[in-house]
Amino acid sequence: MSAQSYSGSCHCGKVSYQVELDLTRPVISCNCSICRRAGTLLSFVPASDFKLDSGEDQLELYQFAQKHIDHLFCRSCGIKSFARGTSKDGSKMIAINVRCLADVDIDALPVMKYDGASV
In a domain, 22, yes or no: yes
Burial tier of 119 (Cβ tally within 10 Å: 0-12, 13-18, 19+)? exposed
Count how many domains the chain has. 1
Q: What is the pLDDT of residues 15-59, one digit of tens each?
A: 999 999 999 999 999 998 888 999 999 999 999 999 999 999 999
In a domain, 119, yes or no: no
Q: What is the pLDDT of residues 54-107, one digit of tens each?
A: 999 999 988 776 767 899 999 999 999 999 999 889 999 999 999 999 999 999
CATH number for the domain that contains residue 91? 2.170.150.70
In Å, how far from its chain's centre is CA 56?
A: 15
CB 4 within 8 A of CB 86: no
In a domain, 35, yes or no: yes
Q: Identify the CA nearest to 82 among candidates 66, 98, 68, 67.
A: 98
CB 83 within 8 A of CB 72: yes
Question: So what's the pLDDT on residue 14?
Answer: 98
